């Protein structure tokens, strides 16, 4: 299973925004002084990779990232603090409500369908109840004849 990550260019934009807002106070949090062959600081490269991984859950919600970057706190946040800011800024996605306006014809068709279903249900229930009623009547007739036999036996 692959976990989500933010695209590298998103993480770069986050770091650029943070560096623009906080200057070296932000970048110095991550710098190690170890320069890689491509000229980048190893600490910043590692930090950006970790940020991309930890913020991957927001890959479908760039609006939350923008909201956080538009209202940064006074001091540069660490990764856990930035994640907390993201959680606080998260709101459920707005989904448009689906509206359906029934036409008089659709309403009439639906009423007819419901009536037909109810009629079928009534017929089924009447058949079942009638069947049970017949059995009950037969049972009563059998009980009456048995009681009559008992009375005749008792008469001797």
> Does residue 154 carry a pLDDT above 50?
no
- Once rounded to an integer, what is the mean pLDDT over residues 76-93? 94
Mean of pLDDT over the chain: 85
Q: For residues 94 and 87, give the distance between their C-alpha atoms in angstroms, rounded to a whole number.
A: 17
Here the tokens at position 129 are: 């109840």
Query: Which helix (H) or strand (E) element contains residue 111?
Result: helix 104-155
Note the pLDDT of residue 137.
Answer: 54
State how far the alpha carbon of 113 is from the alpha carbons of 60, 120, 145, in Å.
43, 11, 48
Confidence of residue 156 (pLDDT cuts 50, 70, 90): very low
More confident residue, 135 or 29: 29
Domain boundaries, given as residue ranges, for the chain: 8-89, 101-156
pTM of structure: 0.59
């Amino acid at each position: 299973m692959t976990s989500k990550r933010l695209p590298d260019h998103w993480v770069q934009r986050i770091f650029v925004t943070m560096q623009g807002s906080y200057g070296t106070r932000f970048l110095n949090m991550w710098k190690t002084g170890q320069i890689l062959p491509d000229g980048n600081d190893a600490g910043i490269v590692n930090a950006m990779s970790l940020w991309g991984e930890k913020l991957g859950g927001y890959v479908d919600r760039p609006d939350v990232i923008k909201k956080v970057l538009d209202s940064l706190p006074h001091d540069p946040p660490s990764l856990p603090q930035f994640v907390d800011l993201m959680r606080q800024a998260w709101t459920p996605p707005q989904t448009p409500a689906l509206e359906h306006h029934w036409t008089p014809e659709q309403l009439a068709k639906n009423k007819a369908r419901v009536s037909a279903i109810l009629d079928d249900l009534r017929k089924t229930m009447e058949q079942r109840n009638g069947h049970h009623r017949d059995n009950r009547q037969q049972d009563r007739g059998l009980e009456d004849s048995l009681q009559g036999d008992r009375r005749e036996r008792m008469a001797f």
